[in-house]
A = this chain, B = another copy of it.
Amino acid sequence: MTVIKESIYEPLTEQTAIELANRLNLFQEGASLTCNEIGDGNLNLVFHIQDTNNKGIIIKQALPYAKVVGESWPLTLLRNKIENEALRVHGQFVPSLVPEVYYTDEELAVTVMEDLSYLQIARRGLIEGKDYPLLSQHIGTYLANTLFFTSDYGMNQQNKKRLAKEFNNPELCKITEDLVFTDPFFNHETNNFEEGLKSFVEELWADEHLKLEVAKLKQKFLTAGEALVHGDLHTGSIFASSTETKVIDPEFAFYGPFGFDIGQFIANLLLNALSLEQDEREKLFNHVEITWNVFSTTFTSLWKTESVEIFSKTNGYLDYVLDQIIEDTIGFAGCELVRRTIGLAHVADLDEISSDDIRIHAKRNALKLGKALITNRKQIRSIEQFVTYIRGVLQHD
């Protein structure tokens, strides 16, 4: 395939994207192709190319910068390689839950992959009230397989170290270290919150106990190379329908703690729940329970049948590992709730609530719940306790 590689990076246009598709022979010869750039233009170009039979492909190209809220800063093109390598690695374990990759070009920072436009971004669907009955079962399966098989339990421990080297991802990790684990807990210029939250936010910044617990979670993120995590597993990184689920955009992938992806996903379910009336929230809480239960059941089953670690047969070790994971999951979920409410990157679930009063109220709940999860994560030892605890925190809502 080297003959068709470009040696110098330049952003594709709709025309050159079609030329690339033709060179790759992904459509019938002579097919008439149309192309639309459908990305948000902040980080990547995303070209949707279709023939007249609506057969499509996606060409995703990293841009050499990131734009967020008007600011622009340089960002490594290598994230495209991280993304397509993560899709390849995770795809070995859960082929039905990630898009198929047809072609990659490191110089162009391009990944050509399966067209998923027949599905909907899960965050958007949840905001519209869709149920996605299989979403949490699929994500629980995705989490258990991708995390187990890239960890010291499911992969040769020397190969795991070699894989970790490939996923050394300092620039993207820094975004998370700053925006998830640091800035929201200090009076930092990247923060972005409404006036009605100010007193809550100032209280949070002054809470030394909370900050100590966040420091511990950040330390875990910085040092615990447990598994190849997706690194940005919110509901905006998931395509879904009532029958299918596909996890996309793993450009933040790196060797991190087991609980990080689980916590981010669960937090984003909770952020959707907080945008709803109290009596509508149970379906999201149900998704939270299923996510953990499918994850832990599948992880347990893999541990018992596939483990390469001789100590996995030692009494109590699996329970210890699962206890660590649920504790971290809860803490990371708490950080995500806080940062999506007052940090740089918000979620539409809360921001699109049109009533000022209801929106501010929901955001205060997000902060209250986030703080509670971070500081009480050691006391919660099962998913049932977790959901009961959440109901308790929100009961005077």
Contact = CB atoms under 8 A, between A and B. Distances in A.
A223 B224 contact: yes
Contact of A212 (B170, B211, B225, B314): B314
A171 B152 contact: no
Contacts of A171: 158
A378 to B, nearest CB: 13
Given A152-B219, A216-B320, A168 B165 contact: yes
A162 interface: yes
Given A211-B311, A320-B216, A158 B170 contact: yes
A162 B157 contact: no
Q: Is the interface of A mostly helix, strand, loop or mixed?
A: helix
A314 B206 CA distance: 11
Interface in A160-192: 161-162, 164-165, 168-171, 173-174, 177, 182, 186
A212 B320 contact: yes
A214 interface: yes
Interface string A197-228: 00000000000100110111011001111100
Contact of A157 (B177, B316, B321): B177
A315 interface: yes
A170 B162 contact: yes
Interface residues of A, number: 38
A317 interface: yes
A1 interface: no
Contacts of A165: 165, 168
A215 B311 contact: yes
A223 B222 contact: no
Given A161-B173, A168-B162, A208 B152 contact: no
Nearest to A151: B223
Q: Which 9 A-B pairs rank lowest in CB-CB distance, beginning with the nearest? A: A215-B311, A158-B170, A161-B170, A165-B168, A211-B314, A208-B315, A152-B222, A212-B316, A215-B317
17 contacts: A152-B219, A152-B222, A157-B177, A157-B222, A158-B170, A161-B168, A161-B170, A162-B168, A165-B165, A165-B168, A186-B310, A208-B315, A212-B311, A216-B317, A219-B321, A224-B224, A224-B225
